Structure 1
Amino acid sequence: MDFQPTEDQRELRAGVRELLEGRYGREALRASVDTGVVVDRGLWRELGAAGFFALRLPESAGGVGLGLAEAVLVFEEAGRVLLPGPLVATHLAAGVVPGAAEGTAVVTACDLGDGLVTYLGEADALLGAAELPAGSPVRSADPLTPLHRVPSYADVSSYAPEGALLTAALQAGSALRTVELAVRYAGEREQFGQPIGAFQAVKHLCARMLVRAEVARTAVYAAAVTSDPGEIAAAKLLADEAAVLGARDCLQVHGGMGFTWEADVHLHLKRAWVRAEQWRTATEAEEGLAEELLRSSTSSPTR
């Protein structure tokens, strides 16, 4: 089976990258951190107009009529630039919550455990609920992912597989971006009269980052094509690992500079920590994958 993107898919990815780089580059990212405005309503509407949220709605319902394979390419690009906001929940709400497909409504979901909800203060609706519940603010590791604890929890289990896969795509995009950041810094920073990228230890760090990121991306693409529950569980596991460990290795390459507030690397790590708990945790993904493997082994004919 060929998991390489088609020409149309590559053009879609390039178009989304151009839009996001133009509207949410590094200056916009840092402005979000400094101002605390984590959801840009203007950009949200632009994403809606570009079909980001209605990508998988049928054309008869006003959507683009594409599938999960195209959706993961789009979400990968959003992960690269650390675009904040409940992207997955709003995408899943298209066709269900009025305004979600067009980007005129921001929809969040109960996609975390312990009664936690992301972006509740910025949301117009909660997926699977008739109205937004009241919530108590909870300190978040990521400055661009505000958290609230709510007393009632809306069931989103029917959305969980797709939610997990799209979150994995965000993680894969972040992992690929940290590879770029590490390689660029390794080529610029000099010690002992040469770039630190010339040292074997740094080469090994960057190589490990690249391998993890590419394996995760391949797993995400495969799961998008097959929609197999086991493939989705594996993709979430690999993407979470690639994003978290990749950001840590990127910090290592940057040395002390990576731990400063001005560097962007810590933002990738903090977002990766939060996303690793969204829709499907590592433990849940491992259990799901184990169940699928066990089911597959017991259903296989014996010889």
Structure 2
Amino acid sequence: MDFQLSDDQRALRSGMRDLLGAVFDRDRMRAAVERGDRNRGMDRAGGGDRAGGVGRGGGVDRGLWRELGAAGFFVLRLPEEAGGVGLGLPEAVLLFEEAGRALLPGPLVATHLAAGLVKGAAEGEAVVTVAEGGGRAVADLGGADAVLVAGGARVLTGEELEAFVAGAVPVRSMDPLTPLHRTMGLAGAWEAYPGAFRGEGALLTAAEQLGSAARTTEMAVQHARSRAQFGSLIGSFQAVKHLCADMLARTEPARSAVYAAAVTGDPVEIAAAKLLADEAAVRNARDCLQIHGGMGFTWEADVHLHLKRAWLRAARWLTAVEAEEVLAADLGPVRPLYGGSAALG
């Protein structure tokens, strides 16, 4: 059985990387970071156009969103008879992996999942975010045209959305490209509707984490090959080699798990993929920061942006604790090795 990517899948991934390089290169990404930082400063000062604590119309770059819509990012998995591309989760994972590499901001996963539910989402004309419930903050609420709740079983638009927004309170986000708001109500909506919707969201988020883990590995290796200390490139030092090797050793198992879960769609495999991808993204960003040394901590370096986004994604859709519960439940009851009671103590 051949588990290699097909030529079409490779072309799809390459095309998305080229597109993002054209419409969201580093200069545009850093400009978005600076705008986000200024907006946070206005919020702290009490400025800005705000309604119930949420600045309406802000956040997501609408031009970029339409570019993604025109490229088929959101409509990828809709059937052809519905105007979609008719591809599946494996292809979607490849696109979200590239989005993670590029630190593409905005509620990509929610808008992708809402392509068949919310008018304009498929074309990138509408921005859709998700309220997961359970006390979790809502990302990108200020510029959203719709909010998914109850695991996608309900969509808030119009007056319902305005009422929902009116009760939202901004909270400080570690990621300058992801504004967060705490909302009242709907606390138990997500738990009441776990289903396939949540699994797909977790898998696509895991794909973003995979892309970030791969990118920070590349950044670390590139820096180690160019930075000299004590008369030698730091990549020649054994400690740095070990860090880079560890980063690769985390990324590739996560890649295998994410790709396999995309093929099977199995909830247990999705939980394992999210767990491995979260660990790879967070730990790789930290190791990349270590290899960059003092300059890695500066605002001008991109390493901290990957770390902050990885932390944020790890808390979305399926956390480590929730993924571990899924995996533990799949193992079944614990049995003693040599007979007798399984109780410990």
| Shorter-chain TM-score range | over 0.9
Identity %: 69
Are the equivalent residues in 1 in contact too, given 2:203–2:270 (CA < 8 A)? Answer: yes
Q: Which structure 2 residues correspond to residues 43-192 of structure 1 after superposition, within 5 A? A: 43-111=64-132, 113-127=134-148, 128-131=154-157, 132=161, 133-134=164-165, 135-153=168-186, 154-155=189-190, 157-158=194-195, 159-192=197-230
Partner of 1:228: 266
1:248 matches 2:286 = yes
Rg comparison, structure with higher value = 2
1:41 matches 2:51 = no
2:29 corresponds to which letter in structure 1? L
* 306, 311, 329: which one aligns with 1:291: 329
* 216, 233, 246: which one aligns with 1:195: 233
- Structure 1 runs of 4+ with >6 Å offset: none
1:291 corresponds to which letter in structure 2? A
Residue-by-residue CA offset, 1:164-204 (whole Å, 9 max, x unaligned):
00000000000000001000000111011111000000000
Once residues 112 and 46 of structure 1 are traced to their aligned partners in structure 2, the CA distance between those partners, rounded to angstroms, is: 30
Once residues 112 and 255 of structure 1 are traced to their aligned partners in structure 2, the CA distance between those partners, rounded to angstroms, is: 38
Partner of 2:11: 11
Are the equivalent residues in 1 in contact too, given 2:59–2:142 (CA < 8 A)? Answer: no
Partner of 2:2: 2
Once residues 235 and 81 of structure 1 are traced to their aligned partners in structure 2, the CA distance between those partners, rounded to angstroms, is: 20
Secondary structure of 1:284 counterpart: helix
Shift of 1:157: 2.7
CA 1:166–1:112: 2 relative to 1, 3 Å: farther
2:172 corresponds to which letter in structure 1? R
Once residues 19 and 309 of structure 2 are traced to their aligned partners in structure 1, the CA distance between those partners, rounded to angstroms, is: 21
Secondary structure of 1:144 counterpart: coil
Are the equivalent residues in 2 in contact too, given 1:112–1:277 (CA < 8 A)? Answer: no
Residue range with higher mean Cα deviation, 146-155 or 284-293: 146-155
Are the equivalent residues in 2 in contact too, given 1:3–1:221 (CA < 8 A)? Answer: no
Are the equivalent residues in 2 in contact too, given 1:49–1:102 (CA < 8 A)? Answer: yes
Partner of 2:52: none
Length-normalised TM-score, structure 2: 0.83
Partner of 1:27: 27
Secondary structure of 1:120 counterpart: coil
CA 1:254–1:21: 2 relative to 1, 3 Å: same
Once residues 293 and 30 of structure 2 are traced to their aligned partners in structure 1, the CA distance between those partners, rounded to angstroms, is: 21
Secondary structure of 2:170 counterpart: strand
Once residues 259 and 49 of structure 1 are traced to their aligned partners in structure 2, the CA distance between those partners, rounded to angstroms, is: 37
Residue-by-residue CA offset, 1:136-169 (whole Å, 9 max, x unaligned):
1000111111100111225463311000000000
Residue-by-residue CA offset, 1:23-81 (whole Å, 9 max, x unaligned):
11111110001112742111111111111001100000000000000000000000001
Are the equivalent residues in 1 in contact too, given 2:101–2:215 (CA < 8 A)? Answer: yes
Secondary structure of 2:120 counterpart: coil
Once residues 43 and 136 of structure 1 are traced to their aligned partners in structure 2, the CA distance between those partners, rounded to angstroms, is: 26
Equivalent pairs counted in the alignment come to 296
Q: Which runs of 5+ in 2 are unaligned?
A: 37-57, 149-153, 336-345
Once residues 194 and 85 of structure 1 are traced to their aligned partners in structure 2, the CA distance between those partners, rounded to angstroms, is: 41
Residue-by-residue CA offset, 1:248-303 (whole Å, 9 max, x unaligned):
000000011100000000000000000000000000000011222329x9xxxxxx
Once residues 130 and 199 of structure 1 are traced to their aligned partners in structure 2, the CA distance between those partners, rounded to angstroms, is: 55
Secondary structure of 2:181 counterpart: strand
Shift of 1:115: 4.0
1:157 corresponds to which letter in structure 2? P
Secondary structure of 1:137 counterpart: strand
Once residues 139 and 190 of structure 1 are traced to their aligned partners in structure 2, the CA distance between those partners, rounded to angstroms, is: 38
